[in-house]
Amino acid sequence: MTLPPVMPTDDLEVRVERAVTAIRARTTLVPRVGLTLGSGLGGIVDAIPEATVFATRELPDWPPSTVAGHAGRLAIGTWCGVPVAALSGRSHRYEGYSLDRVTFAVRVMRALGARTMVFTNAVGAIHPELRPADVMLATGHLNWIGKRGLLTRDELRERRQGIRVADPYSPRLRAALLTAAAEAGVKLHQGVLMGGHGPTYETAAEVRMARRLGADAACMSTVHEVTLAAQLDCEAASLSCVTNRATGLSSVPLTHAEVTEVADQVAGRLRLVLERFLAAEA
């Protein structure tokens, strides 16, 4: 179905409503869980049987994904007995988008009905015990990407009495994912995620600083998405695929091709964890 063109607008609520309307024109399924899939992990979308799949470039107001490994597909369907919305192809701050556009998918999935959000990402290891192909469950984060522009003026006004949640990473979800990983035979490390601007990788000096500040892995996404999801009263969690050792910890230069190659190798294990998690949520 081809929808008529729409005029651009700065009104975030209108943009979300227009995207939701376009999605609802093809499916009435109400997702309970929203999945955002990082570099090389988008193939998980294909695991959802009989899903309604959208090319995000065809949805009104959706920021195009320009990064290799981020296909730009949104699938709405039932996976392991749970209605889900799964996004392959997030947008990044380093692509030139403001944070209200980078986190647009979070708002759309919530507007569709999702109140549980699981984010996956590719990360560089900062902690000396993490190695490529390891999987890490985030226990917290350092947000170097930013927060300005995450919330509307009305949302900021509502939150002037204090922060909405004490911990953006849901303890219940962390426990559920640890259980799911154990059942799937996948070892989950746990650590603090550091989100940086990108698109360049951190320097060796920045990696040493991040380690002293408590970071265990570095990425260029997720921390602002988790922050917004929690502020919008959703449970949030993050699973990271370690694709490389951070700058200064590896003897070879870092490349995006390396990131997607290792992520492709780990995708099967992440899929097993998500399937066990969803089966328990059904």
| Identified catalytic residue from 19, 91, 95, 125 | 95
- Residue 95 known to be catalytic: yes
- Residue 39 known to be catalytic: yes
- Residue 244 known to be catalytic: yes
pLDDT of residue 274: 95
- Residue 141 known to be catalytic: no
CATH topology of domain 26-281: Rossmann fold (3.40.50)
Run means of pLDDT, 10 residues per run, the chain, 282 residues: 56 96 98 88 82 95 76 92 94 90 97 97 92 95 90 84 78 98 97 91 88 95 95 96 72 61 81 95 94
- Residue 256 known to be catalytic: yes
DSSP state letter for 5 = P
Q: Does the model's pTM come out above 0.85?
A: yes
- Helical H segments across the chain, by residue range: 12-24, 99-102, 104-112, 153-158, 171-184, 204-213, 223-231, 256-281
pLDDT of residue 244: 84
pLDDT of residue 255: 61
DSSP state letter for 84 = E
pLDDT of residue 1: 46
| Identified catalytic residue from 71, 94, 98, 143 | 94
Q: Which residues contact 143 (CB under 8 A, 6 or more apart)?
A: 195, 223, 224, 227
pLDDT of residue 5: 53
Question: Whose CA is closest to 170, among 33, 56, 39?
Answer: 33
- Residue 221 known to be catalytic: yes
- Residue 220 known to be catalytic: yes
| Identified catalytic residue from 71, 143, 183, 256 | 256
Q: Which residues pair with 227 in a beta bridge?
A: none
Spans of all domains in the chain: 26-281
Cα angle 236-150-136, degrees, rounded to a multiple of 5: 35
pLDDT of residue 239: 96
